[in-house]
Amino acid sequence: MTSMGIYYLTRLLVTLAAIPVHEAGHALASWLMGDPTARDHGRLSLNPLRHFDLLGTICMVVAGVGWAKPVPTDARRFKNPKLGMAAAALAGPAANLILAYLSMAVWKAVYYWAPDNLLSWYATYFLQYMVVMNVGLAVFNLIPVPPLDGSRVLLVFLPRRAYFGLMRYERVILVVLLALVWFGALNGPLAALNNWMWGLLYDGTAWVDALASRVTVWGLVSTGTRV
């Protein structure tokens, strides 16, 4: 397989993991907070077919920006509708960050302890891209403009009338946002946020590095090598 084929295959496999985790995160949070609508519609699942929009998935694989089927919610079933909607929205990016953290920890473990062969190389490449896509998906969705997840947080702070007045234009805002991303107008801010989040995850998995150092020292001591 060519390097380009490996690249797009990796993007596809990572998308098959990142999107269901994101959408199931919304569904799980809604259910835990009293709204079973998403669960009843089969969205509390890691099955990609429950979540994928065909065009959105193709765009995600090819261009790096895409979408899935919206997760249905009924704000009336939350004890506090504003907080419920905000928490359910934030659960998607949070799920991606958890997956990114786990992927980075395993990535480091493979780097330190896996044998040096082609399988280890691909596992490292896959896990690295898992971190990249999940961090990117989380950061992008936290932008506080409709219809992204971050906009639901505005419901907590804006008057109800102002919020729903803004939401009337969410499709127009989405087109403008995608155009800005497509033409690179947001590359600088998004790259800065992605790098900052990457640094947090790297520091948060420093325990893997520390463990690898201890294992190395124990190995040297056990063989009688001077440390």
Q: Which residues form the catalytic set?
A: 23
What are the residues whose beta carbons fall under 8 Å from the beta carbon of 94, sequence distance 6 or more? 25, 138
Distances (CA, A) of 40 to 28, 35, 72: 11, 10, 10
- SS3 percent helix, strand, coil of the chain, rounded to 5, is 75, 0, 25
> Which amino acid belongs to residue 92?
G
> Sign of the CA dihedral 44, 68, 61, 111?
negative
> Which amino acid belongs to residue 47?
N
What are the residues whose beta carbons fall under 8 Å from the beta carbon of 80, sequence distance 6 or more? none
Ramachandran assignment for 67, one of left (phi > 0), alpha (psi -120 to 50 degrees), beta (any other) = beta
Distances (CA, A) of 83 to 90, 139, 147, 154: 10, 20, 17, 10
Helix (H, G, I), strand (E, B), or coil: what is residue 102?
A: helix
